[in-house]
Chain A
Amino acid sequence: EDKVVQSPLSLVVHEGDTVTLNCSYEVTNFRSLLWYKQEKKAPTFLFMLTSSGIEKKSGRLSSILDKKELFSILNITATQTGDSAIYLCAVRNNYGQNFVFGPGTRLSVLP
């Protein structure tokens, strides 16, 4: 059974700090790993990673995948209060079409 573990489950930082969120996974026949941001109810897409070692970057957010060690990290530099959200990691295999989500990391950025 495919499985996604995220850590920490909760994190409180101050504006300007840099944070690293972790996602480890077990999946049969890996296809892709995805990061989503959930502020209220609807998660929004951040990144999709399929290859090891290639960093994806969008503004202050970046992510990288290690397919050998089966994990990914999401970095947020110079955090802002608007970064406060739940960050969800999901994996997908080549057999089915569903995305298996982790429990999420709840990030709180204090002013």
Chain B
Amino acid sequence: GAGVSQSPSNKVTEKGKDVELRCDPISGHTALYWYRQSLGQGLEFLIYFQGNSAPDKSGLPSDRFSAERTGGSVSTLTIQRTQQEDSAVYLCASSSSGGATGELFFGEGSRLTVL
């Protein structure tokens, strides 16, 4: 695709429900990142995928969070049993070289609101 595509753009859910957020990176990009941005805060690293290597999951805040990347392309971030503190914008980014040139291409994000 022309850019990083994320869906849904907005999601409102009730506490305790599971949600799935999708990221479709730029075609050919081997590196994919998930970040979380709470209101007025910077970007919090969640997880990183590079090619067929094992993902770096060091940023996932709890075992309710998981992510997978199928076929080295589309990624899904799953949050189980959502809590109100999970409310944030979830940003996905991709890069052609693991970010070696510094340029991450970000999607427009998925805004999650947990009531």
Contacts and interface: CB of A to CB of B under 8 A. Distances in A.
Interface of A: 4, 6, 32, 34, 36, 40-45, 47-48, 88, 90, 92, 96-104
Interface string B59-92: 1000000000000000000000000000001010
Contacts of B40: 103
Interface of B: 4, 31, 33, 35, 40-45, 48, 50, 56, 58-59, 89, 91, 98-99, 101-104, 106-109
Judged by DSSP, the binding face of A is strand
A98 B106 contact: no
A97 B89 contact: no
Contacts of B50: 97
23 contacts: A32-B102, A34-B102, A36-B104, A41-B91, A41-B109, A42-B106, A42-B109, A44-B106, A45-B104, A48-B102, A90-B43, A97-B48, A97-B50, A97-B56, A97-B99, A98-B58, A99-B43, A101-B35, A101-B42, A101-B44, A101-B45, A103-B41, A103-B42
A98 B31 CA distance: 10
A103 B59 CA distance: 16
A41 B88 CA distance: 12
B106 to A, nearest CB: 4
B31 to A, nearest CB: 7
B108 A96 contact: no
B31 A43 contact: no
B101 A41 contact: no
A92 B107 contact: no
Which of B35, B58, B99, B108 has the most chain A CB atoms inside 10 A of its CB? B99
Contacts of A47: 102
Nearest to B35: A101
Nearest to B49: A97
A26 to B, nearest CB: 15
Contacts of B102: 32, 34, 45, 47-48, 92
